Structure 1
Amino acid sequence: MTNPYKSYLSIGEKLDKSKFILATFHLQSENQPPARNASASDAGGFDQTAGGVAAESSVGTWTDVSLQEKILWENLRGRVVELDEKASIIRIAYPLELFEPGNIPQFLSSIAGNVFGLSEVSALRLMDIELPEVYVRSFPGPFLGIDGIRKITGISDRPFLGSIIKPKLGLSAQEHIAASMEVYDSGIDLVKDDENLTSQTFNNFYTRVDEGTKRMKEAGYLKEGRQKIYAYNITASYEEMLKRAEYVVDRGGNCLMMDVLTAGFASVCGIRNRNFGKIIHAHRAMHAAFTRSKQYGISMLVIAKLARLAGVDSLHTGLLPAVFTRDTCLTW
């Protein structure tokens, strides 16, 4: 029996990119054992493993399935359209029909799901994705974007300057907002909660919002067209996030912060789809678990693209290397 994985190779196939999602992977397949009952010519190899990734992330499996009609397989199979064994790079084209519009969890379950557990794979990293316009338009995208943020702040000719209050945990709501006001008074444009400041006993979320919006209004920092930004971290269960988002809006706040990876892309889409009209700022806490290795995981570029689809207006990227490594600070 020949190995069916090689049937997913379509090197050089000409594609209508409006009908496919393209994914670029770093792939290593060292010491790969030959497939069971495979002939010598089919016993392992980089191209076979590349085909395995395409199969597992689309319509394939590890054995023949009698119910899988040829026409169905041909229309829906992932195709390895580029393969560079020396550079350990493959590019897979997925028919758009494989994906539910507006559903990031289903997207990730497909191209970044079981493939990382394939026995043939010794290293795999999803490096980039290319999405056709029809798929992109099935998502909400940012409500404001950079142009909208510049409009509400009145800043059009320079970068925004932001600050995070330290210590990140331990201050009361009053102490935290008092420090924020000093930062604003010094000329900073944005203050954000840190990723693990939500609603602890020492700093209740609702008290922090009350104190923050009150003090900012008194100082004139929420005037139309000249606003300072405060990003309140609403991360929690979805029901509680919705409650917190509505509270920020009711009190006149202008920014909802979410830990997008720990809260989940579906939660981000859910908040964005409520059309609150406020900035959604994304913190990428936990990203290095996926992005730090150059051999395994998912690149920050992919996460950033998905965050934009979900509706994020601004994304936390970190400073230049100081506490964190260069590659975990920057979005590539």
Structure 2
Amino acid sequence: MSELPDRLLEAVGDEPVVETVDIGGGDALIVAVTTTYLYRSEGLLSDESIESYGHDARRLAVDAGRRKATVRLETLDDERSFTVPAEAAETVVEAMLEGVLRTTGVVDREESIAGRFRFNDLTLVVTDAKLFKHVGPAVWNEDFEIFDYGSLTDLDFEDGSVATRVVVEIQGRQHRVKVPNDRAGEVRRTVRDAVFDHHDVTTLGELRSALDAASADAESEPKPDSAPELTGIDPVEEETTGGDDDARTDWSPPADQDVTGPRGSTSAGTSAGTGTAFGTAGGRGRGSTGGSTDGETTADESDPGGADVARLADRVDELESRLQQQNELLESQRETIEQLVEELRRGR
């Protein structure tokens, strides 16, 4: 589409645009920050129309078929959906993902997004301050993890025969994110550049030196005294009456009364409903500082198996890839059967 319809441009107004997509047949879609606008041109069975879909959504999902894809937005009140050609679905959904993250406050207004990636059940969003990870059938919902570059203690990449693992270490705890090799280079560059820019370094060696220096400075900071020394104040003389002494030494709390105060501990493995992660707010989602939503986020641990463990991991990656191919083949066969049934019903 060489020019966008005036009616569509009027609907968008001055709102910042994330993406404009030509979806064919005279139809177009504009993804703005807070709203997606879908324009349908006049046809034999329908009039010209514009539908708007707000991004204040709890869940964003896509059901992809061979020719068409259905995009679904779920809010507190209802669920809305629309269809686009399958070849345009990825562009549309990734742009809408950015809109949802900004509208719901997960990504700050001044925060820039460096990359958006979707791999089957994994969604990654790289900003200039954080790495967001979501695992599940939906493109996005309120269950996600946040890796804050300010709490980073190391960054590494592990190559495999089928997939590459992005290893993010937060306060000494490792978290692995597995991405397929066909886009691993793009993910590696995006994450690396964002982290390097945040810490003002240009190489992985410089990053580690800067992180080590920051850790050493934090450990060397003097701790405040437990209590200030009081001078110039005369001590209060204690009463020496027997009644007071008896009351002071013989009193004990009832058996059912806890006088020790609340007990509890904070750890990097807790998750919060307000989207906290690594000690920072992550918006509306339940960000996790060290917990794991899948098997890829693991604690820092020794690897006694060495090469055997690496070979097993590569084998698992290969089996997962084959399983995905089989699922795609089954989906293709199912669509073909449905098409044949529909044509038989029509007498074709």
TM-score normalized by structure 1? 0.26
Which is richer in helix?
A: 1
Which is richer in strand?
A: 2
Select the structure of larger CA radius of gyration.
Answer: 2
- Where relative contact order (Cα < 8 A, 6+ residues apart) is larger, the structure is 1
